[in-house]
Amino acid sequence: MKKISIVVPMYNEAEVSKECYKRIKEVVYKLPEYDYEFIFINDGSQDKTLEILKTIARTDHKVKIISFSRNFGHQNAVSAGLKVVTGDVILIIDADLQDPPECLPDMLKLWKDGNQIIYGKRKSRKGESGFKLISAKMFYKTLNALSDVEIPKDTGDFRLVDRKVVDVMNELPEHNKFFRGLFSWVGFKQKAYEYERQKRFAGKTKYPLKKMLKLASDGIIGFSTKPLKLVGYIGMFSILISFLLLIYALLAYIFQFGNLTPGWASIMVAITFFAGVQLLSIWIMSEYISRIYDENKGRPEYIIDEKINIE
């Protein structure tokens, strides 16, 4: 009998925890040909999420819980879940039920057809602000323009993955993981599954602007060196402008045209332009250096405070 592992990261999801478990349970009950397990990762929640999960785990030993010592982030929570799964196929799904667990049977059919990664592709995104829709669209355009690996648009971490792929992912040593990019990078046979993304069942998004920017940064820097090359292009462009200004100044001096009277505005424009170029270049390089620093420290991706129903 094949086994399904369902990985569900949770951070302050007390309002949706019971409904999330109920909905997923109803889906797997209709798949008697599969054994199953639930891996809930409590990512340092400060509400009653862990308490609710423990209550569920006491009555259902198929429910396994990993609880972090603090909030380490969504991607690290997914990483922790993937390291303990025992199934032949793994579903990664968020707790907010925007990605319907009812899609699982159709995704399993695609897996049986030989696809090793079935990623959810959103046909629509209900209940999301115009800002989030526009920013997401811009993010994927920017990411694919810079990345050396094509990452499917309108996707998230919602996907069904073969055990072989998970084993490969677990061997990757990097810390600042961006899973939707890594799943594209490792290859294997992949298939899109289109679905309608729903509104959150309850509560508020746990991805504010700050976390969205961090995720975008991990995606771009983790999958492209083009921003570093951009620094060189900006530098050459600045040198070219400076060279043209020098030629203009010499010609104006020789042929006595134009107004070369020293002025505060022209000096400040030049200073701020080149200072901006330098600061932008330093910022781009510092982002890469900070990633190197993080990797060299060798600290774990997360710290586990408690495990429940996990041997």
Mean pLDDT of the chain: 78
Q: Residue 8's pLDDT is what?
A: 93
**Residue-wise pLDDT tens digits, 91-127:** 999 888 888 888 899 999 999 888 999 988 887 656 5
CB 133 within 8 A of CB 50: no
pLDDT tens, position by position, 183-194: 888 888 988 888
Looking at 71-80, 277-286, 300-309, which range is the least confident one?
Answer: 277-286
Strand partners, 273: none
Tens of pLDDT, residues 24-51: 999 988 888 899 999 999 988 888 999 9
CA distance 80 to 67: 10
Residue 87 has phi, psi (to 5 degrees) of: -80, 165
- Interhelix angle 264-297/226-255, rounded to 10 degrees, is 160
Chain centre to alpha carbon of residue 294: 18
pLDDT score for 186: 84
Evaluate whether 295 touches 174 at the Cβ level (below 8 Å).
yes
Whether pLDDT at 131 is above 60: no
Q: What is the pTM of this model?
A: 0.70
pLDDT digits (tens, 9 = 90+) for 203-233: 565 555 565 666 666 656 666 666 666 666 6
Whether the Cβ atoms of residue 235 and residue 281 lie closer than 8 Å to each other: yes
Report in angstroms the alpha-carbon separations of 63 from 7, 13, 54, 137, 145: 10, 16, 9, 36, 41
